[in-house]
Structure 1
Amino acid sequence: MPRYEYKVVPAPAKGLKAKGIRSPVARFAHALASAMNELGAEGWSYLRTDTLPAEERAGLTRTRTTYHNMLVFRREVQEDVQLQEVAQSSPPPPTALELAFQAPQPVPRIAYEDAPEDAEDAPSASILTILQARRAETEDVNEIAAE
């Protein structure tokens, strides 16, 4: 399915003078044709003309609605541009913080009188488990301090 990009430009408000063109209508048509030919040379194809409302200031406190004629052009997006967009949309590599949450971490050792001194016996846990254990310890300390 082809993808398009769009360009919207204001329609000319005044005609352009040119050799052999005398009437205001012909000058306006010449200005319109010139604008369309310039964009056509860049690969844009004319799609339609729209008249759209816009609110503008009128004095210090009032606004008024004016209508503007806009020329709408479109052109097909090139395939290599689409491939670049897909390549750019691939997820970035994980950050160091994300890797830290995924990697197992050793559980902090609590010193007890009967605890074995072997570090090899310590199970590994995720950083989330470690943080939950520290939060529980902090809550216990706060409860003791509150009494």
Structure 2
Amino acid sequence: MSGWEYKVVPAPTKGQKGKGIRGAEARFAFALETLMNDMAGDGWEFQRAETLPSVERTGLTGSTTEWRNLLVFRRTVQAPVDDFEPELLPAPEDVAAADDAPADEVQDMEDAPQSTGMDAEFIPGEGATHMATDNGVEETSPVSGMTTSLKNLASQRKGTDDAG
């Protein structure tokens, strides 16, 4: 994630001498040019010049308002990527299978063809809810207490037991 970092510096108040530069106006422009080029060399982009009030003390109890000329610069700041430590979460199917079934059944479930729940047949009946939703998440039927995937797995096992 990137953001901006700002730097505000006072504008030059007097000109700077340079080779071939004559006159107060040219010297002032050269001082401003030098300051802006130095800031750009450090990656700062010029944004704007501002004239802002500054309240300053005068004597023991008095104060006056002085107007200050400031130059505003900015540059991009990249958030450190090293601070971010992603955590890899287990897949939802692996967690459910590991918690509910013994290890040998988990292996059998991994070898069995996977049903997405989309091929499950919905037969409305008393107290039944639909088995598979549009997003593939299965709901448990209050009548049987089983999901369609478990029913399919049971029928596949029953078919292999009868054949053997």
Which category describes the TM-score, using the shorter chain as reference length?
Answer: 0.5 to 0.7
Measure how far apart 1:59 and its partner are: 1.8
What secondary structure is seen at the aligned counterpart in 2 of 1:3? strand
CA distance in 2, matches of 1:24, 1:14: 8
Give the AA of the match of 1:63: S
Q: Identity percentage over the alignment?
A: 52
Counterpart residue number, 1:10: 10
Aligned equivalents of 2:37, 2:76: Cα separation in 1: 17
Alignment match, 2:68: 68
Shift of 1:2: 3.8
Tell me, in whole angstroms, the C-alpha distance in 2 between the residues paired with 1:79 and 1:26: 41
Large movers: runs of 4+ above 6 Å: none
Aligned-partner residue type, residue 50 of structure 1: E
Corresponding residue pairs, total: 85
Shift of 1:39: 0.6
Q: Give the alignment's TM-score, normalised by structure 2.
A: 0.48
Deviation at 1:60, TM superposition (A): 1.9
Give the TM-score taking structure 1 as reference length: 0.54
For residues 78 and 40 of structure 1, what CA distance do their matches in structure 2 show? 18
Aligned to 2:49: 49
CA distance in 1, matches of 2:77, 2:19: 38
Instruction: State the one-letter code of the partner of 1:35.
Output: L
Could you say what secondary structure the match of 2:21 adopts?
Answer: coil
Higher relative contact order (CA 8 A, sep 6+): 1
Offset from partner CA, 1:84-118 (integer Å, 9 cap, x none)? 4x67xxxxxxxxxxxxxxxxxxxxxxxxxxxxxxx
Corresponding residue number in structure 2 for 1:134: none
The 5 Å alignment of 1:47-126 reads 47-80=47-80, 84=83
Give me the CA root mean square deviation.
Answer: 1.8
SS of residue matched to 2:52: strand
Q: Which structure has the larger Rg over C-alpha atoms?
A: 2
Deviation at 1:51, TM superposition (A): 0.5
Where structure 2 has 5 or more consecutive residues not aligned to the other structure, the ranges are 86-164
User: Aligned partners of 1:67 and 1:37: how far apart in 2?
Assistant: 25
2:129 aligned residue: none
Shift of the alpha carbon at 1:12?
A: 0.3
- Contiguous gaps of at least 5 residues in structure 1: 88-147
Which secondary structure does the structure 1 equivalent of 2:14 belong to? Answer: coil
Amino acid at match of 1:71: L
In 1, Cα distance between equivalents of 2:37 and 2:31: 10
Secondary structure of the structure 2 residue equivalent to 1:77: strand
Distance 1:78 1:30 in 2: 33
Counterpart CA distance in 1 for 2:5 and 2:82 is 15
